[in-house]
């Protein structure tokens, strides 16, 4: 039976200049969550602050969100919000910032919750919007956290926990490509391949449906056609806009039908070896597309899509794109210590099998198959 779909929150804006919409906000106190100094240096934070001040709001800045945000960061931000009492939370940054802001929102509104486990299954997910609503403004074209129901937060040991609930769907998403113009080339490549992975995994998800298929195909095609352009020409606003829109559309697809084992493996590897999530997605993706072709429905969907691109092999399309973006073909290029990798293999296999994304992959691997996939991706055995 199909699950109900939810396509974004109450307001979704996209296109160059749409950030100006913030001038019309009617909120009194706004907490802005950011990462490091880049959003300050490129003027993005200044723009947001000016628009909010024009609307009459008081502003609090919560900075210092790290890549792969920790629960410690989430709790620290929530404590600052409890002091300020915002009625709007603005997440301005990439996926880590948006995930952290969602986490802060949960613990700000529910002060009785103290641990990360409090919001993980089998516990009941808490209600939100008792004090504030959430506005997400992405500065990268990749995670689509601005239209997703999910967060990934690391515990004290560094293990990543993926948590999903429609309560966390942001109320307002503002996708202004002008905020992505200063993205470095390697971040452009890695986040763009994360978005492509979202689209291609949603396309063959066990929950895929008529609408998610339209969204996934359109976004995947736009990403493949534009990621090389923005990698080479960071200031190309038209291509930047297409990438940001495609990332958002891929998010609308996957947040409703979920993902697959590319993400299960990337979440696990990121927790153990602290490599960028989008980079891991890019490396793993062609191996899993090949693996999934054992499923006839997935094979048919991949074939149809690759023909739309003028190719007879989606695996080769992805591999060629990775080469164009100077992304490694195997994990051994990033993790040279093969002994350490092998030592972590049993634990990684177990964690990946338990990851929530695994259950919607076209084929659910057994323990030996998952372990072999980790080995293939490491050795470059495609």
pLDDT at 162: 86
The answer to whether the beta carbons of residues 133 and 121 sit under 8 Å apart is no
Amino acid 156: pLDDT: 87
Q: Quick one: average pLDDT of 230-259?
A: 97
Contact, 103 vs 153, CB < 8 A?
yes
Q: Which pLDDT tens digit goes with each residue over 285-328? A: 999 999 999 999 999 999 999 999 999 999 999 999 999 999 99
**Percentage of residues of the chain with pLDDT beyond 70:** 100
- CATH 1.20.1090.10 maps onto the chain at 183-379
Calpha distance 208→14 (Å, rounded): 25
- Please give the span between the terminal C-alpha atoms of the chain, in angstroms, as a whole number: 36
Cα separation, 252 vs 149, in Å, equals 10
Q: What is the pLDDT of residue 126?
A: 96
Q: What is the pLDDT of residue 283?
A: 98
CATH architecture of 11-179: 3-Layer(aba) Sandwich (3.40)
pLDDT tier for residue 229 given thresholds of 50, 70 and 90: very high
Kindly report, as residue ranges, where domains of CATH 3.40.50.1970 are found in the chain. 11-179
The pair phi, psi for residue 259, each rounded to 5°, is: -120, -145
The gap from C-alpha 329 to its chain's centroid, in whole angstroms, comes to 22
Residue 97, exposed/middle/buried by CB under 10 A (0-12, 13-18, 19+)? Answer: buried
Residue 80 is predicted with a pLDDT of 98
What is the reported pLDDT for 3? Answer: 86
Residue 1, pLDDT > 80, answer no
pLDDT in tens, 208-224: 999 999 999 999 999 99
The CATH topology of domain 183-379 is: Dehydroquinate synthase-like, alpha domain (1.20.1090)
Only one residue has tokens 């990851």, namely 355
Q: How confident is the model at residue 160 (pLDDT cuts 50, 70, 90)?
A: confident
Contacting residues for 152 by C-beta, under 8 A, at least 6 apart: 68, 95, 99, 160, 161, 162, 163, 267, 277
**Residue 8's pLDDT is what?**
87
Average pLDDT over residues 228-238: 97
CB within 8 A of 250, min separation 6: which ones? 144, 195, 196, 198, 199, 202, 215, 216, 219, 220, 223
Residues 151, 125: Cα–Cα separation, whole Å: 13
Residue range 33-91, pLDDT digits in tens? 999 899 999 999 999 999 999 999 999 999 999 998 999 999 999 999 999 999 999 99
Structure tokens at 283: 């490396």
């Amino acid at each position: 039976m199909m699950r109900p779909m939810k396509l974004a929150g109450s307001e979704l804006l996209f296109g160059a200049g749409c950030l100006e919409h913030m001038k019309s906000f009617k909120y009194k106190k706004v907490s802005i969550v950011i990462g490091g100094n880049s959003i300050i240096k490129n003027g993005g934070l200044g723009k947001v602050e000016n628009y909010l001040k024009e609307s009459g709001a008081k502003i609090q800045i919560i900075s210092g969100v790290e890549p792969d945000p920790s629960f410690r960061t989430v709790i620290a931000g929530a404590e600052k919000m409890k002091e300020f009492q915002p009625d709007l939370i603005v997440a301005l940054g990439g996926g880590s910032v948006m995930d952290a802001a969602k986490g802060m929102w949960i613990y700000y509104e529910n002060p009785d919750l103290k641990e990360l486990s409090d919001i993980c299954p089998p516990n009941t997910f808490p209600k939100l919007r008792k004090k504030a609503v959430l506005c997400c403004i992405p500065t990268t074209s990749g995670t689509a956290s601005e239209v997703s129901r999910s967060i990934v937060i690391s515990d004290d040991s560094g293990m990543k926990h993926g948590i999903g609930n429609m309560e966390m769907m942001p109320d307002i998403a503002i996708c202004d490509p002008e905020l992505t113009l200063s993205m470095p080339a390697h971040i452009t490549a890695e986040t763009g391949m994360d978005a492509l992975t979202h689209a291609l995994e949603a396309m063959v998800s066990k929950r895929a449906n008529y609408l998610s298929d339209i969204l996934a195909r359109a976004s995947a095609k736009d990403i493949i056609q534009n990621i090389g352009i923005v990698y080479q020409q960071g200031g190309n606003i038209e291509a930047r806009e297409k990438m940001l829109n495609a990332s958002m559309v891929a998010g609308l697809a996957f947040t409703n039908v979920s993902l697959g084992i590319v993400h299960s493996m990337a979440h696990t590897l990121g927790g153990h070896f602290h490599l960028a999530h989008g980079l891991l997605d890019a490396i793993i993706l062609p191996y899993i597309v090949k693996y999934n072709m054992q499923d006839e429905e997935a094979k048919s969907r991949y074939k149809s899509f690759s023909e739309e691109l003028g190719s007879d092999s989606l695996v080769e399309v992805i591999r060629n794109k990775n080469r164009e973006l100077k992304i490694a073909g195997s994990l051994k290029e990033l993790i040279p210590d093969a002994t350490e990798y092998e030592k972590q293999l049993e634990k990684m296999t177990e964690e990946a099998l338990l990851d929530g994304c695994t259950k919607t992959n076209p084929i659910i691997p057994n323990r030996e198959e998952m372990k072999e996939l980790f080995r293939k991706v490491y050795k470059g055995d495609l």
